[in-house]
Homo-oligomer: A and B are copies of this chain.
Amino acid sequence: MRRTIGVREIEDIALGAAVLGTGGGGDPYIGRLMAVQAIEDFGPVELVSLEEVDDDDWSVAIAMMGAPTVMVEKIPGGKEAEHAFRSIESFLGRPIRYLYSIEAGGINSTIPIALAAQLRMPMIDLDGMGRAFPEIQMVTHTLFGITATPFTMADEKGNSAVLSTVDNRWMETFARSIAVNMGATAHIAAYAASGRQQKEAAVRGTMTLAETIGRTIREARAAHVDVVARLCAVTQGQVIFQGKVVDVQRRTVAGFARGEAILEGIGVDAGSQMSIEFQNENLIARRDGNVKVSVPDLISMVEEETGEPITTEGLRYGFRVNVIGMPSHPHWRTPAGLAVVGPRYFGYDVDFVPVEA
């Protein structure tokens, strides 16, 4: 189904993407501003479903990478995404028909919309995560042998890089260094893929899912009905804790925002405590010391009353939140998927247990 993304859709996508961002993925506020501005300047963006894409048509992902704590301080100049795109285009030496979001959780849901409007290119309704993850190789494309190479980067000063690596984990190492050198954030273009490859590897419909989540929150607020319950219904999620933020530790290390939040239970959870550790995104939630939900499943905190998603950099003492656990895409729950984004990859010596179990 072809449809267009206008200003209303961007607002909903950005809100829903913040839920799928699981605390990270970058503040959607900046990406939303950029996308809205681009659509006002150049008109709406066409969004096509993966079924409509020819097997031989190529698409590339456009994104920002870096520490979300820095992104909120350092607003893009506007030319970086195009610079990264032109580099990958010339390096690939073949026509690129579509742009896509590699990470529809967080800011990277809307960053490609802004460039798609500017270049008048359609987007495909998919992403490579179904959420947000902190590292370059953490995309379902990796599980199907799709390479991040060529990987282009650009900053607001005019610097750029084209990287080519023997695997996607090496790309994370190289690109992270350059992103740090670029001032902790950079625009990238990568993961060029044919329609055939996308049909095998991608997480389908994530842009629509983000929009549905955002619209659901907006409509539930307007109707004064239980926002969190509606949110759980559209994400197959469940409330795993109701609490108040009593401590947040945060530090920016090697280009990542790392830290931990401590919640004290309220209501049905009074007397219990939840700890949530994050590396850009929320990674593991423990209730009274026992793992309740872990990567690759999604852990999102939302404001109790409004369902407003809270990023790790927005966490403050005293916030009353509901913690929602949501199932990840089936690709991530395979042994190959868990090797890339399971709890052990992040240094936690626990087995993955699906949130619904």
Contact = CB atoms under 8 A, between A and B. Distances in A.
A158 interface: yes
Contact of A177 (B160, B162, B165, B181): B181
A170 B161 CA distance: 12
Interface in A119-171: 157-166, 170
Nearest to A93: B90
B181 A159 contact: no
Q: How large is the interface on A (under 10, 10 to 19, 20 to 34, 35 or more residues)?
A: 10 to 19
A174 B170 contact: no
Interface string A174-208: 10011011000000000000000000000000000
Contacts of A166: 157-159
A173 interface: yes
A131 B163 CA distance: 31
User: What is the predominant secondary structure among interface residues of chain A facing chain B?
Assistant: mixed
Contacts of A170: 157, 159
Nearest to A180: B177
Contact of A159 (B158, B159, B161, B165): B165
Contacts of A161: 161-164, 174
Contacts of A174: 159, 161, 178, 181
A304 to B, nearest CB: 43
A279 to B, nearest CB: 19
A181 B161 CA distance: 15
A348 to B, nearest CB: 26
Nearest to A160: B164
B164 A173 contact: no
A180 B176 CA distance: 12
Nearest to A90: B91
A178 B177 CA distance: 7
A86 to B, nearest CB: 12
Contacts of A157: 166, 170
Nearest to A179: B177
A160 B149 CA distance: 10
Nearest to A173: B181
Nearest to A152: B162
Interface string A264-298: 00000000000000000000000000000000000
Nearest to A162: B162
Contacts of A180: 177
15 contacts: A157-B166, A157-B170, A158-B166, A159-B163, A159-B164, A159-B170, A159-B174, A160-B164, A161-B161, A161-B163, A161-B164, A162-B162, A173-B181, A174-B181, A177-B181
Given A158-B166, A161-B161, 14 more contacts: A158-B165, A159-B164, A159-B165, A159-B166, A160-B164, A162-B162, A162-B163, A173-B181, A174-B178, A174-B181, A177-B178, A177-B180, A177-B181, A178-B178
Instruction: Please name the 5 residue pairs, one residue from A and one from B, whose CB atoms are nearest each other, closest first.
Output: A177-B177, A162-B162, A158-B166, A160-B164, A159-B165
